[in-house]
Amino acid sequence: MSQLPDNNNWFTEVHTADGSAFSFKLTEKGKLHEEQTPFQKIEIYDTETFGKLMVIDGYVMLTTRDNFLYHEMMSHPALFTHPNPERVLIIGGGDCGTLREVLRHPGVKLAQQVDIDEGVTRASEKYFPELCESNDDSRAELHFVDGLKWVQEAAPGSYDLIIVDSTDPVGPAEGLFSEPFFRDCHNCLAENGMVVQQSESPLYHLPLIKDMYTAMGSAGFVGMQTLPFPQPVYPSGWWSCTMAFKDTALKNVDSKDIASREFREQDSENRPFETLYYTTAIHRGTLDTPPFMKKVLAGLK
C-alpha cells in the first residue's frame, strides 16, 4: 500500500467526509508563518511546486500557483452577467484576490471587502503581495468586521453584486450558507441585484449545493446557476460558484435560463484586461450544467 514517502515533508489536507486527501511537498523552509487570530489559525507553507500555501484551521485556502482559477471564476462571470455592476460587496475574501479581479472592471465604482479576520489580509500582503496590488485603489474599501452583521445592517438596495468568497460551511463561515444570510443579502441588493457564492465541489458536495438552492429560493432569489471550474488544491480538484438573481420581474419568466440570457457576452469578449483562465467561451460553457448535476438540482431554480 502506497504511503507518502516522507510524511513530515508534506502538508496534507484530509477531506474526512469525502474519503480523500491532497498533499503538497514542502520545501526545506516548510512552515513560514503560524498565527492564532481571535477567529482562526492561519498558517503559511512554502511548497515545492505550488508556491506559497495558505491554510486556515487546517483547510487549504489558496496557493500562489493556482488561485487564479478560483478568483477569476468567482468574479468575472457574475460581473459580466449583472447589467451594470457598480457597487460590489465581497464577504470574506480576505486574501484580496477576488477584490483584485473585481477592480479590473472599469465600471465598478465601489468594491467593499468585508472579512472578519484582518489577520488573513495581513498574511496575504506579506506572502501573496500580487493579490493585494489593488488594495490601494480608490474604489476599494477593506473592512474587518463580521460579514453576517454587515449585510444585516446594510441599507436596502446598497449593492449590485454580493460575492460570498467564504471558507467551507463550518466554523465562522457556517452562517454564510443559510437562509437568513441570503435574506439579508436579498434585502441589501438593488433591484437588478445578484449574489454569487463559492459552492464547493460539484462531485463531492451536490447535497450542499441543493440545500443552497433551497435556501436561496426561500430568501427570494431566482435563477440559481452553478458554474463548475477546475481548482486543483480544493477537495476533488473541481470547484464551483453559484449565481442567483434578485430581480423580481424575472420570477414571472422561465427562471432556468436567466444566467444564460443575461450574460453580457459582447462585453466579456471586449474586456479591457487579461485573464489566465476566464474566457467568454469558457464562461458560456459553464452555463450548461453537466447532466449528472442537473438531475440532482432539477426543479430547484
Residues that bind a second copy (CB under 8 A): 1-5, 7-8, 10-14, 18-26, 30-31, 47-50, 58, 65-66, 68, 202-203, 228, 230-232, 236-238, 274-282, 284-288, 290-292
140 forms bridges with which residues in the sheet?
A: 111
Identify which of residues 21 and 298 has a Cβ nearer to a second copy in the complex. 21
Identify which of residues 175 and 207 has a Cβ nearer to a second copy in the complex. 207
- Written as one string, the DSSP assignment of 218-258 is HTT-EEEEEEEEE-TTSGGGEEEEEEEE--GGGGGS-GGGH
Identify which of residues 30 and 107 has a Cβ nearer to a second copy in the complex. 30
At closest approach, how far in Å is the CB of 14 from a second copy? 6
Cβ atoms of residues 215 and 91 within 8 Å: no
226 forms bridges with which residues in the sheet?
A: 242
At closest approach, how far in Å is the CB of 244 from a second copy? 20
Identify which of residues 172 and 202 has a Cβ nearer to a second copy in the complex. 202
Query: What is the spatial distance between Cα 11 and Cα 26, in angstroms, rounded to a whole number?
Result: 7
Query: What is the spatial distance between Cα 89 and Cα 97, in angstroms, rounded to a whole number?
Result: 14
Q: C-alpha dihedral over 17, 170, 242, 178, to 10 degrees?
A: 120
Residue 260 Cα to chain centre, angstroms: 20
Task: Find the largest Cα–Cα distance for the chain.
Answer: 60
Sorted by sequence, the CB contacts under 8 Å of residue 279 that are 6+ apart come out as none
Query: What is the spatial distance between Cα 243 and Cα 256, in angstroms, rounded to a whole number?
Result: 12
At closest approach, how far in Å is the CB of 193 from a second copy? 26
At closest approach, how far in Å is the CB of 57 from a second copy? 11
At closest approach, how far in Å is the CB of 88 from a second copy? 23
Cβ atoms of residues 10 and 26 within 8 Å: yes
Identify which of residues 49 and 252 has a Cβ nearer to a second copy in the complex. 49
Active-site amino acid positions: 165
Secondary structure (3-state) at 15: strand
Half-sphere exposure of 189 (CA within 13 A, CB side): 28
Identify which of residues 47 and 255 has a Cβ nearer to a second copy in the complex. 47
φ, ψ for residue 80, nearest 5 deg: -95, 15
At closest approach, how far in Å is the CB of 197 from a second copy? 20
